[in-house]
Structure formats: C-alpha cells, structure tokens
Amino acid sequence: MAFPANFKWGTATASYQIEGAASQDGKGPSTWDMMCRKENAIFNNDTGDTTCDHYNRYEEDVEIMKQMSMQAYRFSICWSRVLPQGTGKVNEAGLDFYSRLVDKLLEDGIEPWVTLFHWDYPYHLYTRGGWLNPKSPEWFAEYTEIIVDKLSDRVSNWMTLNEPYCFLWLGHKTGNHAPGDKLGLEQVLLATHNALKSHGMAVKTIREKAKKQPNIGFAPVGKSFYPQTNSQEDIKAAYEMTYSFDSPDLWNSTWINDAVFKGCYPQDGLRVFGKSVPKFTDEDFKIISEPLDFFGFNFYRAPAVRMGDDGPEILSPKAGDPLTHFNWPLSPEGLEWAAKFHHERYKLPLVVTENGMANCDWVLSDGTVRDYQRIDYLKRYITALHRAIEAGADIRGYFVWTTMDNFEWAEGFSKRFGLVHVDYQTQKRTPKLSAWWYKKVAQTNGLHALEDGLD
C-alpha cells in the first residue's frame, strides 16, 4: 500500500548553505558571515560567501527539482537579506528574490514550504544582544510580518524556527556554530526563552496576517531512542529515554517541544536547570504555545535501548556497524519510533522536515554520481516511516536533506548531503543516482521505496 493521498514528497535547504551572494544587492551580514571570518572556526576556513550561488542560479535549481518530480520544496529566508539591519528599512531586492523563487516554484508545480529562520541571525541585531535582548521577539515578529505580507498570497506552508537546539546550544554554549559564543547556562536559557517567544509571536503574526489559509509548524530536533525489541518493556524504555531530562543541556526532546506544544517547561527540566531558568509568566507561555497545525521534526539517528533490571539501558554500537560520512549510525527504526512517540505525545499531524545522510560522493570518470549508499539509506528510512503510518501515526510529508550539496556549517564543504552534486569551483550541477531514484518514489507515492530495489 502506498503512502496516504496528498502525502508531500520534497527536499529541503537552508539559505546560508546554498545562496551565496553574501553582500550582493544590499544583503546585510549575518552571524554565519561573522563566524566564517574566525580563523579555523570552519573546516578548511571555508565560507558561505558563494557556496552554490543559488541566489543567481535559482531558476536552474528549480528546473532540476522539476525534473526530479518534486512536489514540495522547503527553503529558508535569510533575515538579513530582507532586513540588512535586522529591523527598519526593507531591502526590496532581497525580498524580491524570494518572491521570484516562489513564482518559479509554483510555475513548475512545486509547493513552497517557507522556513523563517534557519540559523543566519542578522549580525547587527547580534551586536544589540541577539536572542538575549528582550526585544528580540518583537524583531522577529516585524520580520515575519514583512515576509507574510510579501509571500502569503502564494505561500500556505510555514515554519518558524529550525532546530533551536543547534543555534542556541551549539551557537551560544559550546561555540561550535554561529555566533560562536560560550555563555553561561543562565544566558543560554534566557536566549532560548526569547527565541521561543519569537516563535510564538511569529505564529500569531502569520495567523493574523496571512492572505491564504496558513499551515504552520516548526522544525525542532532532539534526542530519540528506539526499542531493541517490540516488547512492551523495551518500548516503554525507549519512550522514557526519548522524553527524559537527565542532563543540564538542551539536547532533549521536551524543553523546547513541551513549551511549544504543551504550554509549559517540563518539570524534570525545571528541576535539572534549577536557578538558571529565566523568570517567566503565564502570558509568556500563552505566546509560546500559539496553536500549530503540524509537528515538523528533523531526524537523522538514534540508539537502541532495552529495559534492564535497573531501568532503561542504551545499547552501544557494534564494531563494523554502518556509519554515514558524518559517523552517524544507520538507524531507520529510530525514525519509525520517533514518529510514533511524537504522534502519541503531541497529537498533531507530523511532517519529517529533514532526513538524509552525508556520503563520500564524487563525479565518476563517466560523469555520473552513483550514490547507492544514499539510495539504500533513503529506502530504509522511508520504509520505516511507512511502518509508523501503518501503526496509526498521522504523517503528511517527507523532505530529504538536502536538495544539493552545500556549505555544511562548521564542516565547511567536507560533507555532501545532496541529491544533486555541486562542483563548487565551476557551479556545475550533476543529479546523483539518488535524485532519479527519489523521483520514482515521488511519482509512485512511495511505492518505489517499499517494493522495488535500488534502481
């Protein structure tokens, strides 16, 4: 049996990773532009100054998506391309780029799914405190209204924030990602609280200002676990571990998600974070928990667990287990159970907003890129997702990360996630074998992944 009717098959990207044109047509700097100027902060000191040059080549890229029979495309908007100072005067050239992109997508029969923030925070707002500034939710709402006013006559699908864990914890606590800060826990939790309020104010703005009926979600990522067996004991262990809160950091599935979907911080998180939690009010959570239409989630990996004599036990990987080029384990069962658990806990339709793998790809001497490992990866994960649907999870779409190879944040250009190979020196695009395989998946509403091989 194929996937549900109207299931969306698509691919996803992020603005800083593909657009390039770092200062073209009035774009202002972002924290990632700043991060790339720090010596040795990025692999090989790579930058996103040009990356895939999508800003100038978007028509070619959308044509490739059309050839791939993509039904939907998830992309993000660069805040500082639209508002170079983060607030105030609009850069019409930057705003028009996204309008042209939406028009091109619709012309080619591809549904746009817009993410408002995928990590590239305006540098000029960062100098004013960034997410630590109590005005940051107002800044984000102002930006959101500009985008909604421009695009909502043609765009229905919206996401507010992508992976708050990454831009808040990795960006403000460990310093691995932009802006590269290493703040105290109290400051990180304050930034998180303001980012969550920003999310809520954006949802409210979209709901009130959209010209077409909006479909709104966001795209978090968090820890997941899957049961070693289908025994009730192991399933209970996996559920408990997925939503447990046992260390004072944001790598969990409840601090952000419970705030958004349940209107409160989890009690065990309040206990673990203790006095570092910022002051908050009931009104804050009314804003943060503005109703959403779907639960978007990004998924890549998860360990197995079992219920031991003393509680849940995480199983260690075995020698020789498959690993992606990022050294992430192959764990399709994790996607199946993450979908089941999120459906059970948050009771909203689900969309897999990212799933994919880094692979050691290059163009072969015959001009092709035969990435069979990626095809096998996608086949396994899509099949696992189908099992979750058969078990009752309401899943509406699946977006492969990513459309094309691009700037992989702190890893620079050393990791390739794309269905399309990009030669960064010549900007030549070469669809990989996986692009044509995924085309058949979209055309058959998933049957090609469930029934056929790797051709």
One pLDDT digit (tens) per residue for the chain, 455 residues: 789 999 999 999 999 999 999 999 999 999 999 999 999 999 999 999 999 999 999 999 999 999 999 999 999 999 999 999 999 999 999 999 999 999 999 999 999 999 999 999 999 999 999 999 999 999 999 999 999 999 999 999 999 999 999 999 999 999 999 999 999 999 999 999 999 999 999 999 999 999 999 999 999 999 999 999 999 999 999 999 999 998 999 999 999 999 999 999 999 999 999 999 999 999 999 999 999 999 999 999 999 999 999 999 999 999 999 999 999 999 999 999 999 999 999 999 999 999 999 999 999 999 999 999 999 999 999 999 999 999 999 999 999 999 999 999 999 999 999 999 999 999 999 999 999 999 999 999 999 999 877 88
Task: For residue 354, indicate whether it is catalytic.
Answer: yes
How many structural domains is the chain composed of? 1
Catalytic-labelled residue, pool 290, 333, 336, 354: 354
φ and ψ at 109, to 5 degrees? 75, 25
Distances (CA, A) of 190 to 26, 116, 193, 291: 32, 21, 5, 22
Question: Would you state the pLDDT for residue 1?
Answer: 75
Residue 369 resides in a domain: yes
Residue 3 resides in a domain: no
Residue 68 resides in a domain: yes
The helix or strand, by DSSP H or E, that contains position 107, with its residue range, turns out to be: helix 92-107
Question: Would you state the pLDDT for residue 452?
Answer: 73
Annotated binding-site residues for substrate read 17, 118, 162, 300, 401, 408-409
Residue 428 resides in a domain: yes
Residue 290 resides in a domain: yes
Residue 288 contacts residue 323 (beta carbons within 8 Å):
no
Sheet of 226-227, strand order: 226-227, 304-308, 311-314
Residue 103 resides in a domain: yes
Question: Would you state the pLDDT for residue 246?
Answer: 86
Q: Is 23 exposed, middle or buried (0-12, 13-18, 19+ CB in 10 A)?
A: exposed
Query: Any residues with CB less than 8 A from the CB of 71 and at least 6 apart, and which?
Result: 8, 9, 10, 109, 110, 111, 442
Residue 1 resides in a domain: no
User: Which tokens in the block code for residue 140?
Assistant: 């984000």
CATH code for position 423? 3.20.20.80
Catalytic-labelled residue, pool 92, 111, 163, 290: 163
Question: Would you state the pLDDT for residue 454?
Answer: 81
Residue 2 resides in a domain: no
The separation between CA 425 and the C-alpha centre of its own chain, rounded to angstroms, equals 27
Q: How far apart are CA 69 and CA 9, in angstroms?
A: 9
The helix or strand, by DSSP H or E, that contains position 353, with its residue range, turns out to be: strand 350-355
Q: How far apart are CA 162 and CA 173, in angstroms?
A: 18
Range of the domain at 108: 8-451
Distances (CA, A) of 418 to 11, 59, 101, 115, 429: 9, 18, 20, 19, 11
Note the pTM of the prediction, 2 decimals: 0.98
Annotated binding-site residues read 17, 118, 162, 300, 401, 408-409
